[in-house]
Structure 1
Amino acid sequence: MRTLPSSLHDDVALQLRNYIFDGQLRPGSFIDEVTLCELWSISRTPLREALKVLTAEGLVRHEPRRGCFVNEVTEQDLDDIFPVIALLEGRCAFDATQRATPADVQALEVWHQRLKQHAEAGRINDYYEANFAIHEAIIQLANNKWLAQTIADLRKILKLARLQQLHAPGRLKQSLKEHLAVFAALKAGDAAGADAAMRNHLLQQREALRELAFAKRSVLTA
């Protein structure tokens, strides 16, 4: 059992968020307030405040007279979210290209070498970590707190879906190619090119997920 840092509702929100992302509370499941309050030795007030936070984030939904449930991400949600996050991260790539120093480019070069090594070795989990670090570095270079916050909020919803797009056939190799295209544009100082390459990278993620969902349905109906 995890220890709750304090009784403040933001700490409770963090704990609840971790439960959801770790799969201890799965999409569609009922959030038992009594059980959680007993488990974490807290009163109902901070938990309910935390639930309001997660409801605003889209991770939880409240149903009158029934209580709170972990949200489920639909295919339509993914269709709606990916074009938006593609635009936002594309803008980050644009701004990052204009602001990147030679030292920033060198740091990104190191990360892309790691990304390539993980892809060639088929180390998907390590690839995910390097991929995340690269996206974060570009967002930080863009230096726009509003873009960063909006992207972070959308990522929470995508994380709720427990997506595994790199498991699509050929996706690991293609993802690397897309990342290298973004970096090549950034290194060349081509802000518009970096923007377009990043948008393409995010939209291709959605297509890979669509292929996985189709393959899964095909297996179930076979």
Structure 2
Amino acid sequence: MESAIHTAAPPEAGRSRGSLAEDVCRRIADEIVLGQLAPGTRLDEVTLAARFAVSRTPVREALKQLAIMGLVETRPNRGSVVAALSVEQLNHMFEAIAELEAACARHAALRMSEADRAAMRQHHAEGRAAMQAGDIERYEAANVALHATIIRGCYNPVLIDMATSLRDRVSSFRRTQFRNLERMSESFEEHSVIVEAILAHDVITTYREMRSHLISARSATTRAAPAWGNAPATAAAPLPPDPLP
């Protein structure tokens, strides 16, 4: 099954192999999440390379990354195919990322450098401008940068690696929530509370608000993304009460 999206990609000349692979990966991931590539669809390297106007190398790298994200699987005699997805799988990933990012944020409230805090404020300001303009792409970029800055600000390499890896796996799903402009505004307000708590070195509020923010993102994402294979949608199990007093 071919995707419903047929917009040609920019030509390969002048772009690095890494950036080409990232672009192809993102575009295929978005089509999978939005249901434009159905579960079981074969992803042929030659066809995709022609469609995106790139060589097979960045396509091959993109498919490897999509497999790591759980969006693509390799089957004998068929090669890469779109994986079957379920609400339950996504809920499990969001439960994990809520706990991991909340822990990162709690440490960041005490460990961030002044440069980190300045970068966080800048990304939050960029999010405000994008939200006010209704610019989904700019808001998503600011959102990614803000969360990445907070994660790195925990200065715990194990937490950073785990949180970043899981964020990468759910990134395409998280983008779908901002198709609803009301959710963009809600997300910005949630960010405001988190940023304020971090700047005040308030570890308890930071932890709770980041955790709550990601629970809200989970709900918004599962409402916005239709690509859950043929499995019936199941309600997310509630997270246990937060462990802080």
Common fold by TM > 0.5: yes
**Within-5 A mapping of 1:43-192:** 55-161=67-173, 163-168=175-180, 170-192=182-204
Give the CA RMSD over aligned residues. Answer: 3.4
TM-score (norm 1): 0.74
Check whether the contact 2:194–2:210 (CA below 8 A) recurs between aligned residues. yes
Consecutive unaligned residues in structure 2, runs of 5 or more: 1-10, 33-38, 227-245
Deviation at 1:183, TM superposition (A): 0.8
Correspondence for 2:26:
21
Query: What is the Cα deviation at residue 72 of structure 1?
Result: 4.7
* Structure 1 residue aligned with 2:55: 40
Distance 2:136 2:62 in 1: 33
The answer on 1:2 being equivalent to 2:12 is yes
Q: Distance in 2 between matches of 1:120 and 1:176?
A: 10
**Percent of aligned pairs sharing the same letter:** 30
Q: Deviations over 1:48-94 (max 9, x none)?
A: x9866753442421223332213354322221111111111111101
Secondary structure at 1:61's aligned position in 2?
Answer: strand
Does structure 2 retain, via aligned residues, the 8 Å contact 1:72–1:161?
A: no
Structure with greater helix percent: 1
Distance 2:219 2:30 in 1: 27
Residue-by-residue CA offset, 1:88-144 (whole Å, 9 max, x unaligned): 111110111110234432332233223223223322222211111111111111122
What is the TM-score with the length of structure 2 in the denominator? 0.68
Partner SS for 1:170: helix
Greater C-alpha Rg:
1
Aligned residues of 1:4 and 1:40 also touching (Cα < 8 A):
no
Q: Is the partner of 2:77 in helix, strand or coil?
A: coil
Number of matched residues? 205
Contact 1:26 1:70 in 2 (8 A): no
CA distance in 2, matches of 1:56, 1:114: 30
